[in-house]
Structure 1
């Protein structure tokens, strides 16, 4: 097959930005020495802040809902960020092609910092959720533009070691987030988990303004604003449906039925629109590639189960086990250790063997076992039991997510890698967003049910339960008998979350068996499409 024929392969969507990313910085425009080091420091610092805000909030949630009286809206503090980040990521990349990477990265940083200040100054849950959404818009831009900026300053053959630094930065933020969040909540105020972004973000902004000067390579794009609006509207309606159904409104009420219809129509229209627009957010042609399709399905299911279930463990530790926010962050370290250890080991095994299918099978099975262990938690569960479950769950995460990205990357020509990775990441993010909302609703509903079942019939209303559980300080001040009832209800509700997550993860495990395996190419750069074509014969 000729190069021209390969470029016209209808199985994947050709993204003009990827041509520029593949070619990288021309030799005469290369940036080296101290200037390059400062650029890398600034880019890694901005990515660290954006990634940190996905995890730093978890240990602060009990204190936040105590101060702002919003336990029922707890999941939205995380969901708002994830949803905005997911929807905006493809748009930031294309706008940066039109107006330049540097100026758009600076705008994303300013938006992120302004939203961080607003989040820290929040006086209500509604204020905080809106601020987190704006923060997600900026964070989404930082994540994609920091990675894309590597292509502006590093030639392809040298890019691997620099992207490794960014991967390490992202992994470090996952570990540091709960620890830093716990320190601020316990020592100063939860508001500083947002304010801390300001000084470091300002430093990164001025470094980029000073040293990040590269020739602009404009690529014309048509921005799919309509697709972004349809996707956000459809997913947001679905999230509200999950949160309100069975609690604020009966499942058979006209409001819930209308929301079901609206979410279906909006998401169906989004899919229809994506098949017809010239440059869609999610190129539907990618689904002609079976590896992309299966990997995206696994990423969605795994993202839904894992991200949705993990966020509530620090809440359990603080409310039920009475640990401090810092201690809660420390107690999450077994999961991070499992994830980091598995990522390193699986990465080396994948490179040595040139195969990958066995690792997602092992990873999803491990994650399912971890969730089954965690589903048995109670008020008096020893920490070693929780640590074991978290470690196995983290090991499953580390064995699965990076390998799915590698499988997708290996299944398309080099020029289409960006579009394929973005598409797969999109589904993982959507899964995590829905999982946070769904398991948040399960947690709240099961908590109310457990408390009602433990008290005389008719003695407590939903409003009473909401008032009883609205803040950590309120729970701590309850009479001993009622206090024990609430703690047992919390523990049982979280166990129920993991019980529901277990079969979801089993679905992911089943899907991994349908993942087609293509032996990883030993070739680099532009040899990859020819090698891929040869292997697919």
Structure 2
């Protein structure tokens, strides 16, 4: 009873003493930093690969960031329930900024991958805790509407990010893509320090570090298999079997650890709620879809359609514009037609977007890519808004941090698996195509980054360019087959959400 009262008292004090408009602005600023990172790095990646090489490691730039993000998001969520939202969010932003500075200084693909690990380590705190703070200082009815404001961050970043990214890549340097995070992060920290107030009950706690370690080993070993399988080694090789066995072993150990831990990193009691279970499962599949578009669409537009980085960026812009528009509408629909019907609408748009990408070809031009991207964004806006409001309304303050983080974790895990799985599909498909053409596979893969050169691909012969473009076209089509498949799975999962009772 004492813990419940302290939770209610803390939530009441936060709403009473906190300057909500300024905190909302600080939260939106922190989320803007993460949102810009998502759009601008994807836009700059072709130029980065063109300068420092390493096309075969393309997906690792996203996988390394998302792996640390996925593993740490639950730890940050649990720590925020124990020590408060403000200190944990500030620490996360600081680590994120350190990683951003290092990424801008990278001289090789291997260095950049390592620095993206650092950046992901900090990013794990930003999105879930920012969303949790909103859940703390606003009521259920207010949260449904506020989600529209939060999602507008994606629309703003969608317009600014790709345009700024294209300008930086073409006229200055891709390194400033990472360094532009510094002023944004510092301003968010200052705002949180002065305007967010919490009263946290001091108590001795045990943090489930062992569970975090088991989860890290589970996800990382699986991700290595998905990235390198069919490329560095065969799917049926001993290495693949060994890593998959390691992943399964540590998954079992993780489940056992979470059941016996005093303060489990992922309390399974949360998953007993059917609505939360379906929302989290669907977030996993939509995370794969999101990664399939945001990571590989710029490569298609630049490498196959031969468009500039700025045009490639605009194809992602439409997704981030559709997201906040539908999120704003979803916030109102939730209060009138409920979570389930709002989520179903989102699932339909995800499938429509998947169909567009399934039929996308180099002859369609970037406008068709923009349209498909917009549909995916609309679907994400409807579904994610419904899930966040649903989950935060189903738990109390003392569990809201980990409940929100768990949903974010599932989407991040989906993105992590998606980057690895779809990156593996891309590399494997391209390798098979080049083998059928009788090309030197290793030399051709290393030369593939020339297709993504924003200043042209004159270093390639006409024949070599045509072969690589056709191979990249076929490989990316295979990626979009998977995107459509997961869109269908997402819609089917949403249909299992329980029907809401009328109050």
Give TM-score, length-normalised by structure 2: 0.89
- Residue-by-residue CA offset, 1:165-221 (whole Å, 9 max, x unaligned): 444335533554333322221221111111111233334444555666665543543
| d(CA) in 1 for partners of 2:406, 2:233 | 34
| d(CA) in 2 for partners of 1:72, 1:48 | 30
| d(CA) in 2 for partners of 1:424, 1:151 | 14
Greater Cα offset, 265-274 or 473-482: 473-482
Root-mean-square deviation (Å): 3.0
CA contact under 8 A between 1:48 and 1:169: conserved in structure 2?
Answer: yes
Shift of 1:440: 1.0
Greater Cα offset, 115-124 or 192-201: 192-201
- Residue-by-residue CA offset, 1:476-521 (whole Å, 9 max, x unaligned): 4211122112112212211111112222222222222211022476
Larger RCO: 1 or 2 (CA < 8 Å, sep 6+): 2
Greater Cα offset, 365-374 or 488-497: 365-374
Larger Rg: 1
| d(CA) in 2 for partners of 1:427, 1:464 | 37
| d(CA) in 1 for partners of 2:404, 2:6 | 13
| d(CA) in 1 for partners of 2:203, 2:142 | 21
User: For 2:497, what is the secondary structure of its paired residue?
Assistant: coil
Which residue number corresponds to residue 311 of structure 2?
Answer: 327
1:385 and 2:368 are equivalent in the alignment: yes
Shift of 1:346: 2.9
Matched positions, count: 499
CA contact under 8 A between 2:148 and 2:328: conserved in structure 1?
Answer: no
Q: 1:503 to 1:405 in 2, by over 3 A?
A: same
Greater Cα offset, 416-425 or 395-404: 416-425
- Residue-by-residue CA offset, 1:448-471 (whole Å, 9 max, x unaligned): 222333x2xxx4232122222133
Which residue number corresponds to residue 528 of structure 1?
Answer: none
Shift of 1:230: 1.0
| d(CA) in 2 for partners of 1:298, 1:290 | 12
| d(CA) in 1 for partners of 2:474, 2:271 | 40
CA contact under 8 A between 1:15 and 1:416: conserved in structure 2?
Answer: no
Residue among 393, 418, 423 paired with 1:435: 418
Q: 1:405 to 1:31 in 2, by over 3 A?
A: closer
| d(CA) in 2 for partners of 1:424, 1:208 | 24
Q: What does 1:276-291 correspond to in 2, within 5 Å?
A: 276-291=260-275
1:460 and 2:439 are equivalent in the alignment: yes
Which residue number corresponds to residue 25 of structure 1?
Answer: 14
Shift of 1:97: 5.9
Q: 1:406 to 1:206 in 2, by over 3 A?
A: closer
Gaps of 5+ in 1: 8-13, 522-537
- Residue-by-residue CA offset, 1:91-119 (whole Å, 9 max, x unaligned): 23444566565544443332222111100
User: For 1:311, what is the secondary structure of its paired residue?
Assistant: helix
User: For 2:362, what is the secondary structure of its paired residue?
Assistant: coil
| d(CA) in 2 for partners of 1:407, 1:390 | 26
Q: What does 1:172-191 correspond to in 2, within 5 Å?
A: 172-191=156-175
1:118 and 2:122 are equivalent in the alignment: no
Q: 1:397 to 1:21 in 2, by over 3 A?
A: farther
CA contact under 8 A between 2:77 and 2:404: conserved in structure 1?
Answer: no
Shift of 1:141: 2.3
Q: 1:337 to 1:485 in 2, by over 3 A?
A: same
CA contact under 8 A between 2:32 and 2:154: conserved in structure 1?
Answer: yes
Q: 1:452 to 1:377 in 2, by over 3 A?
A: farther
